[in-house]
Amino acid sequence: MPHIAIDYTANLTDDLLPLELPRKVHEAAQGLRVFPLNGLRTFARAIEEYQVGANTANEAFINIHIRIAPGRPEELRQRIVDTLFATAEQTLAALIEKRPVGLQLEITELDRSLTRMAGSLPTA
């Protein structure tokens, strides 16, 4: 853990991909040194069907959802949110200035009793 999912409206694809947002957020999460290296997974996907604001072709949205294992103190969760949001804001600053883009980042803790994991990825 964590899993970082970046969803964005498809009308951002051409502007967003060169900014390398997933790589930068992933590296910022690594830099926190609070997650197991092989447990960190970052995904990004364009959402083809969406409605944003006044529904003009230019309005766009980026949602970053971070799911982490439970048990970390509030101050650490706050540091994670602040660091990753600052990274996203810096990465997207020119884009947000150029066109109407909403940015949201949220962190949630998984419920261990309702989570199952398997696979062969190294855990160290």
Tens digit of pLDDT for each residue in 2-27? 899 999 999 999 999 999 999 999 99
In a domain, 66, yes or no: yes
In a domain, 117, yes or no: no
pLDDT band at 122 (very low <50, low <70, confident <90, very high): low
Name the residue range of residue 77's domain: 3-112
In a domain, 122, yes or no: no
pTM of the model: 0.89
In a domain, 25, yes or no: yes
Q: Hey, what are 66's tokens?
A: 């971070």
pLDDT band at 56 (very low <50, low <70, confident <90, very high): confident
In a domain, 97, yes or no: yes
Q: CA–CA separation, 19 vs 1, rounded Å? A: 24
In a domain, 118, yes or no: no
In a domain, 83, yes or no: yes
Amino acid present at 77: R
Q: CA–CA separation, 82 vs 90, rounded Å? A: 12
**How high is the pLDDT of residue 108?**
95
| CATH number of the domain that residue 8 is part of | 3.30.429.10
Residues whose CB is less than 8 angstroms from the CB of residue 55 and which lie 6 or more positions away in sequence, other chains included: none
Q: CA–CA separation, 103 vs 42, rounded Å? A: 17
Q: What is the pLDDT of residues 68-115, one digit of tens each?
A: 989 899 999 999 999 999 999 999 999 999 999 999 999 999 877 767
CA 13, 11, 107, 94 torsion: positive or negative? Answer: positive
**How high is the pLDDT of residue 55?**
75
Q: What is the DSSP letter of 17?
A: G
Calculate mean pLDDT across residues 40-61: 91
In a domain, 121, yes or no: no
pLDDT at 124 over 60: no
Q: Which helix (H) or strand (E) holds 73?
A: none
Q: Judge contact between 117 and 41, C-beta under 8 A.
A: no
Count of domains in the chain?
1
